[in-house]
Structure 1
Amino acid sequence: MTDFFADISPVKYAPDAPADTLAYRHYNPDEIVAGKRMEDHLRFAVAWWHSFAWPGGDPFGGQTFDRPWFGNTMDLARLKADVAFEMFALLGQPYYCWHDADIRPEGDSFAQSKRNFEEIIDYLGTKMETQGTKLLWGTANLFSHRRFMSGAATNPDPEVFAWSAATVKNCLDATHKLKGENYVLWGGREGYETLLNTDLKRERAQAGRMLQMVVDYKHKIGFKGGILIEPKPQEPTKHQYDYDVATVYGFLKEFGLEGEVQVNIEQGHAILAGHSFEHELATASALGIFGSIDMNRNDYQSGWDTDQFPNTVPEVALAYYEVLKAGGFTTGGTNFDAKLRRQSLDPVDLIAAHVGGMDVCARGFKAAAAMLADGGLEEARAARYAGWDAPQAQTWLQDATLDQIETTVAGGAIDPQPRSGRQEILENYVNRFV
């Protein structure tokens, strides 16, 4: 045991606990909602990078956090793991997620980094067996090191492409070894700053080839989990090739991978792409590529991906409504890709942030389940499109020509009149639940 979280007790469901007590007021893992335990619906995961690797910097200032495991040695990597699993136990979190660079020190060579990685993977595996915490997904950090300044799969230098492919192979091996339920391709710098020095067609082909190799290797090693892409609009490059869900779907179709790859959707990225979170979720569901989510929020005044813990129940409720409509999570879950504010220095802040986020998600999820069971939104939507169920409308949609439709309209058989979309009434409906 470490002493980092000394004097902090395991967090329990206690809705009537005093205000200054760390307790879940809304998240009861054993509560049955929509036919399943809430824990099994929500599948919460801690993000290793923001919780244990991020130093608290911003564009105008450096490190503010003073963590005893900060440093580039194996002993410190093991200490970080010890603290992480202590936090998982305090929170009762069923899952966690990592990038390779979060959990192992950087070596002087690829081979040394690989040895460090494999050693810490074995260490994590032992802890997982003892404690029962599972891996929701693994991924590779192909964006922080200066070698990736011009991308990873999309880099103009083929040696960077090869380094990236080898790194992804090792991370997929490790995810498989730890029985991870997904592998995520997080394209942190797969984009461009200027078209003056960019060959779009070439870079897209490189990205497509990399993804094809990942899918082939998944099947070669027998990995049964999901392969996920996380859409990103403009972080940090001016334009990312995986801009939003619809863009990713077009990319998958181009390279014949729409049946192999799904998406991991982040709230903050959805907003930066000019969408709502629920829009991206609904789009993924409609296209058949919904996989998992990163649950966070942006500061809407900043215009940047601030990765804050969720605190707005109505937004979360609408997101989980789409998750439930899509059939819920299978291999995916709710990963808190969220970090403390750089002034939140204390260990208790890290616990409190997750407790608050889990409670907000629980409240939103229960509201979403209640709305779906009530059926009001689906009834209103069905009524709005009911005309399309008529035989004539089906003929127009499936068999008719423009000439035939024009004859019907010109003959005076129809005279369409505008009908209300009832938006305010539906907004009032949602507010009854949140």
Structure 2
Amino acid sequence: MSFFDGIAPVSFQGADSTSDLAFRHYDPDELVMGKRMEDHLRFTCAWWHSFAWPGGDPFGGQTFQRPWFKEDDLAAAKVKADAAFDLFDILGVPFFCFHDADIRPEADSFAATARNLAEMVDYIGEKMETSKTKLLWGTANLFTHRRFMSGAATNPDPDVFAWSAATVKTCMDATMKLGGQNYVLWGGREGYETLLNTDLTREAEQAGAFLSKVVEYKHKIGFKGAILIEPKPQEPTKHQYDYDVATVYGFLKRFGLENEVQVNIEQGHAILAGHSFEHELAMAASLGIFGSIDMNRNDYQSGWDTDQFPDNPREATLAYYEVLRAGGFTTGGTNFDAKLRRQSLDPIDLVAAHVGGMDVCARGLKAAAAMLSDGVLEDARAARYAGWTTPEAQAMLGQSLDQIHDAVVTADPRPEPRSGRQESLENVVSRYI
């Protein structure tokens, strides 16, 4: 018996549909800027929030009752995998992603846990043979178990560093075996709680050495996908070293990895860092490290990462505008790193949440594509910086302060400020949504 018994595959029915389980805006085959919508968005279902999360929060425990919630049980892990692929088929998503801990039970030794992972990778591989859904990326959970309470790569205990490195090796092997297109590292506890017991220099060197080993192993095994880092500023630690896109770029430059590693940017993490999602996307594109996105949202009345499904078309429009300006996804995609509310108990809730999120993203993509095609924002941007296109302005960038000073004295310019037209441009965005 399927966990999703009685729920039919979701289909596109158009904007007038009244069904809770129908796409109103997401039509996989609709052409947007000459490309299928499915190929633009590359939707991805996250194994951890959809199937591993028990429905708890900082103030209360498990609320979900799932038939696969049994620890140290490979049979239950396979039931979970069956349910996952049933959901993938219902939604018609082209990709999924996972942590090792999501798909395999923990055993009493590293070797036994690795054997569990290998068995589940084989099982999932068999499921993939009869499914359209492929692996976007894999990753290692280096933050939940108590051994990682002081970090993984940055841990003061070298045995934890070694355990973490060995775990990543097995997860990269698993990702490659399943045909994954990326490998993600999220330093969930790579940071500090207090400077009173922290050596910042030592921990940075450990993190740099760890990532360098990941890149080296990627090339050794011939993995063709991208290595991605996912920035996050805080929670669970007081300060995390991968605070935001710019911080990650500085870290990559420090260790000579800026041409080897890209970023996977999450909407909720951008907000926690004091940025907008579109800011982080634009920054990554500007720095040449844009890779993939985790699509979700935070509750703006809460000060923590609530990981809710997206429901704001304007936010989605601004995000996909930057994705399109960056050239769109290559190996990356739109991963729903989002979870149900702990009162949403039923299988249908999980389907409906994804349907709504996919529709919001589709609306955002279409609006963003229309804005970009019409060129109204790009024309305004070009007009604002038009003065810098002259030969004299370009030459000034290569001149000394003395030369610029002398030119100003000779020419005696009288610059007057010009309006940035922010409100008018915000109105433009509103017209497309």
- Partners of 2:92 and 2:353 lie apart in 1 by 14
Partner of 1:235: 235
Q: Cα distance, 1:408 vs. partner?
A: 2.3
* Deviation of 1:15 (Å): 1.2
Determine if contact 2:185/2:228 at 8 Å carries over to the other structure: yes
Per-residue CA distance 1:21-78 (angstroms, 9 max, x = gap): 4100000000010111000110000000000000000111000000111012000000
Residue 90 of structure 1 and its aligned partner are, at CA, apart by 0.4
Maintained 8 Å contact 1:17/1:23:
no
Tell me the residue number matched to 2:51. 52
Distance 1:17 1:173 in 2: 46
Paired with 1:340 and 1:234, the residues of 2 have a C-alpha distance of: 22
1:214 Cα offset (Å): 0.4
State TM-score, norm by structure 2: 0.99
Aligned residue number for residue 98 of structure 2 = 98
Matched, 1:249 2:249: yes
Q: CA deviation at 1:403?
A: 1.3
Give yes or no for contact 1:408–1:414 (8 Å, CA) kept in 2: no
* Residue matched to 1:67: 66
Q: Which residue pairs with 1:386 in the alignment?
A: 386
Q: Percent identity?
A: 75
Provide the secondary structure at the position in 2 that maps to 1:136. strand
Residue equivalent to 1:12: 11
Equivalenced residue count is 432
Determine if contact 2:20/2:352 at 8 Å carries over to the other structure.
no
Amino acid across the alignment from 2:406 = T
SS of 2:236's equivalent?
coil
Distance 2:15 2:363 in 1: 16
Gaps of 5+ in 1: none
Match of 1:335, SS state, is: strand
Match of 1:421 in 2: 420
1:216 to 2:202 alignment: no
Q: In 1, Cα distance between the equivalents of 2:39 and 2:403?
A: 53
C-alpha deviation, 1:244, in angstroms: 0.3
Tell me, in whole angstroms, the C-alpha distance in 2 between the residues paired with 1:167 and 1:80.
22
TM-score, normalising length from structure 1?
Answer: 0.98
Q: CA–CA distance in 2 between the matches of 1:16 and 1:34? A: 20
Partners of 1:69 and 1:80 within 8 A in 2: yes
Alignment RMSD: 0.9
Deviation digits for residues 190-224 of structure 1 (CA, Å, limit 9, x no counterpart):
00011000000100110000000000000000100
Partners of 2:420 and 2:19 lie apart in 1 by 45
| CA deviation after TM superposition for structure 1 residue 411, in Å | 3.4
- Counterpart of 2:184, as a letter, is V
Q: CA separation in 2, counterparts of 1:198 and 1:165? A: 21
Alpha-carbon distance in 2 for matches of 1:380, 1:3? 53
- Whole-Å separation in 2 of the counterparts to 1:379 and 1:139: 41
Aligned to 2:140: 140
Q: How does 1:33-44 map to 2 (within 5 A)?
A: 33-44=32-43
Give the equivalent residue in structure 1 for 2:272.
272
Matched residues in 1 for 2:28 and 2:376: separation? 27
CA deviation after TM superposition for structure 1 residue 17, in Å: 5.9
Residue type of the partner of 2:270?
A
- Give secondary structure in 2 for the equivalent of 1:411: helix
Q: CA separation in 1, counterparts of 2:143 and 2:263?
A: 19
What amino acid is aligned across from residue 218 of structure 1 in structure 2? Answer: K
Residue of structure 2 in register with 1:167 after alignment: 167
Question: Take 2:358 and 2:390, find their aligned partners in 1: how far apart are those partners?
Answer: 45
Deviation at 1:144, TM superposition (A): 0.2
Q: In the aligned structure 1, how far is the partner of 2:15 from the partner of 2:163?
A: 53
Helix, strand or coil for the counterpart of 1:138? strand
Inter-partner Cα distance in structure 1 for 2:168 and 2:411: 63
In 2, distance between residues paired with 1:18 and 1:25? Answer: 7
Q: 2:164 and 2:51 mapped to 1: Cα distance?
A: 24
